[in-house]
Amino acid sequence: MILIIKLRRRKNRMLKQLILIFMVIIFCSCANESEDSDGLIGDNVSGVEDPSTYVTNITPPLDSTYSENSTLDFQVSFNEAVSVVGAPCLSLVIGSNPRLACYIFGSGMKTLFFRYTVVSGDDDLDGILLSSEINLQGAEIKNLGTDEVVNLSFASAAPDLSNIYINTSIIAPDKILSVNQTNLSESREEVSFNWSAPNDNGNPITYYSIRYRKLGASEFVYHGSNPASTSALISNLDTESTYEIQVAAFNSVMGPYSDSLTVSTVFTPATLGALIWYEAKDINADGVDVADGSSITDFKDKSGSSNHATIIKGTEATIETVDGKKVIRMTSSGYRTINSLGESANTDVEVYIVAKTRQVTNSFAFVNENQLNADRYGSHFPWGNSNAYIDLTMGDRMYGAWGGNTTDFFAWTFRSSTTQGKALERNGVEILNAGNKANTAPLKKWTIGSDYAGNGTFWKADMQAIFVFDKVLSNSQRIDFFAYIEAEYGVDMQ
């Protein structure tokens, strides 16, 4: 019985090979009719001897069983970047059926992406076959830099597809609707993410397949493990890069891969977990420049936390350009966060404000909405007497000479920590410090530019940005953040 099965499989493979050869012959005939060439696919099709651009690797679909609507994705990598015009394909044989996995994307890169979607009748239980040449189908693949044709043969790089099976009698799981990032490590080299289990269509999902790649630079890599749960992490990412991650469910056959989760390891305040990020040059958080003189009703939060702020009293601030920098010109205006930042006592907080003080007045840069001295939480730099103050609480106030001026931009850091105490820094240099705090007042809603009610004593400043973290940054995080402040706002951090 075993011998009979083996013979049948061998006959099936031989039949598939004959079908592939027939497909190649047909394609070669078409190519010879359209090109002044008598070579086979990949041979000197435009008179260029020995094309210097050639296939280095084929990454096939993951060894698995696939079903109707599953996708078979092939990645063809070259030694140099190529351009594509049209829709070239890879010739497959599935069962006894000739099929084409056609070009999806990759022009301008070293790796081209080809896909075939399984249809009813594609059953193949002894492994599919792939031709050893790219079927141009009237398309063009050329070296991106020299515009020379490429060698279309990949016989030396042909992958083993004997463990890729098709079984359309089992319904594959549905496509996973979304993949969500849950955390980026402090080093920005490890990302955690999760997803919701899709409909299993009658067969329990036993594991998930994960693949990822650096966007625009390389082919997908299949994750080393296949988790049974709906969460995972990927380590050893390169910093200052962007990745896309896709997940598919397996229930005896592989379902389609999800749309990509895009993960950036490029440093921004959001990667540090900022609770608030308001920025004058992108005040609406939409990337659109706002003209000078425009009145601002709302500060839009860029942190991803949706902690926007809206005006509560006074005259609306305007967007202006000062010393080549976009600023929010605070005049007689007070803004308050729409959401509470935390009703219970928060043990750690770190605030950064990049601003130029235009006038020394009795004003708060920021303060929480609590009017009781027992839990008032805020800072003003400077007060009318040229001192900087921290109220945490009013009965535990500290103050001292602020050391600033009304001509330069400074980055002011307010910090309160159970381990590091409370402090005020100017351009990264500490100017005020007090002992450790057992706890701090609740953050609640914050008012920026006036007192807790927004009634008066307004802050006369030109503000480039404000950041709030509900934690104390580590030394390595501050190094990254200080470099960001220097680059974006022109403040020399010490």
Q: What is the pLDDT of residue 438?
A: 75
Structure-model confidence comparison of residues 56 and 47, the more confident one:
56
Instruction: Report residue 218 as tokens.
Output: 């390389």
Q: What is the pLDDT of residue 50?
A: 63
Segment 208-228 shows an average pLDDT of 88
pLDDT confidence tier of residue 483, bands split at 50, 70 and 90 = very high
Instruction: Please indicate, yes or no, whether residues 314 and 349 belong to a single structural domain of this protein.
Output: yes
Instruction: Please indicate, yes or no, whether residues 307 and 453 belong to a single structural domain of this protein.
Output: yes
Q: Look-up: residue for tokens 């850091």? A: 413
Last residue of a domain, one of 249, 266, 283: 266
CA–CA dist 254, 244 (Å, integer): 20
Segment 137-155 shows an average pLDDT of 91
Last residue of a domain, one of 266, 283, 308: 266
DSSP 282-344: GTTSSSPPPPTT-EESEEPP-SSS---EEEEEESPEEEEEETTEEEEEESSEEEEESS-S-SS
Segment 37-61 shows an average pLDDT of 61
Residue 258 lies in a domain: yes
DSSP 74-123: EEEEESS-EEEES--EEEEEETTEEEEEEEEE-TTSSEEEEEEE--TT--
Q: What is the pLDDT of residue 431?
A: 93
* pLDDT higher than 70, residue 2: no
* pLDDT higher than 70, residue 430: yes
Share of the chain above pLDDT 70, in %: 89
Segment 273-281 shows an average pLDDT of 94
Instruction: Please indicate, yes or no, whether residues 36 and 89 belong to a single structural domain of this protein.
Output: yes
pLDDT confidence tier of residue 20, bands split at 50, 70 and 90 = low
DSSP 230: S
| Torsions phi, psi for 285 (to 5 deg) | 55, 35
Instruction: Please indicate, yes or no, whether residues 262 and 274 belong to a single structural domain of this protein.
Output: no
CA proximity to 104, closest of 114, 90, 116: 114
Strands (E), 123-279: 129-135, 140-143, 165-166, 179-184, 191-195, 207-214, 221-222, 231-234, 242-250, 261-264, 276-279
Residue 279 lies in a domain: yes
Instruction: Please indicate, yes or no, whether residues 145 and 291 belong to a single structural domain of this protein.
Output: no
Residue 56 lies in a domain: no
Write the pLDDT tens digit of every residue in 382-420. 888 999 988 877 777 889 999 999 999 999 999 988 888
CA proximity to 109, closest of 219, 12, 19: 219
CA–CA dist 89, 112 (Å, integer): 11
* Domains contained in the chain, number: 3
CA proximity to 278, closest of 125, 74, 105, 468: 468
Instruction: Please indicate, yes or no, whether residues 299 and 200 belong to a single structural domain of this protein.
Output: no
pLDDT confidence tier of residue 15, bands split at 50, 70 and 90 = low
Instruction: Please indicate, yes or no, whether residues 331 and 384 belong to a single structural domain of this protein.
Output: yes
* pLDDT higher than 60, residue 6: no
What lies within 8 Å, CB to CB, of 3 at 6+ separation is: none
Last residue of a domain, one of 219, 240, 266: 266
Residue 255: CATH number of its domain: 2.60.40.10
Residue 428 lies in a domain: yes
Is the distance from CB of 425 to CB of 415 less than 8 angstroms? yes
Residue 61 backbone class (left: φ over 0; alpha: ψ -120 to 50; beta: rest) = beta
Write the pLDDT tens digit of every residue in 99-145. 999 999 999 999 999 999 999 989 999 999 998 899 999 999 999 98
Cis preceding linkage at 393, omega within 30 = yes
Is the distance from CB of 317 to CB of 309 less than 8 angstroms? no
Work out the end-to-end distance of the chain between its first and last CA atoms, rounded to an integer number of angstroms: 79
Instruction: Please indicate, yes or no, whether residues 345 and 483 belong to a single structural domain of this protein.
Output: yes
Residue 64 lies in a domain: no
Q: What is the pLDDT of residue 344?
A: 82
Torsional sign, CA 450, 452, 453, 456: negative
Residue 377 lies in a domain: yes
Instruction: Please indicate, yes or no, whether residues 472 and 333 belong to a single structural domain of this protein.
Output: yes
Write the pLDDT tens digit of every residue in 163-188. 999 999 999 999 999 999 998 888 88
Structure-model confidence comparison of residues 297 and 22, the more confident one:
297
Structure-model confidence comparison of residues 481 and 21, the more confident one:
481
Torsional sign, CA 445, 275, 375, 317: negative
Q: CA 388, 394, 400 angle in degrees (round to 5)?
A: 20
Cβ atoms < 10 Å from Cβ of 62: 19
Instruction: Report residue 250 as tokens.
Output: 């397996």
Q: What is the pLDDT of residue 91?
A: 94
CA–CA dist 420, 158 (Å, integer): 60
Residue 439 lies in a domain: yes
Which 3 state secondary structure label does DSSP give 20? helix
Containing domain of residue 363, as a range?
270-489
* pLDDT higher than 90, residue 380: no
Residue 422 lies in a domain: yes
pLDDT confidence tier of residue 64, bands split at 50, 70 and 90 = very high
Instruction: Report residue 494 as tokens.
Output: 């010490």
* pLDDT higher than 90, residue 250: yes
CA–CA dist 163, 181 (Å, integer): 32
Instruction: Please indicate, yes or no, whether residues 45 and 137 belong to a single structural domain of this protein.
Output: yes
Secondary structure percentages of the chain, helix, strand, coil, to 5: 15, 40, 50
Instruction: Please indicate, yes or no, whether residues 247 and 122 belong to a single structural domain of this protein.
Output: no
Q: What is the pLDDT of residue 13?
A: 53
For the chain, the average pLDDT equals: 86
* pLDDT higher than 90, residue 284: yes
Residue 450: CATH number of its domain: 2.60.120.200
pLDDT confidence tier of residue 457, bands split at 50, 70 and 90 = confident
Segment 224-253 shows an average pLDDT of 94
CA proximity to 331, closest of 462, 464, 451, 467: 462
* pLDDT higher than 50, residue 46: no
Write the pLDDT tens digit of every residue in 296-355. 999 999 998 999 999 998 899 999 999 999 999 999 889 999 999 888 888 789 999 999
Instruction: Please indicate, yes or no, whether residues 262 and 282 belong to a single structural domain of this protein.
Output: no
Q: What is the pLDDT of residue 49?
A: 54
What DSSP element (H or E) covers 4?
Answer: helix 2-34
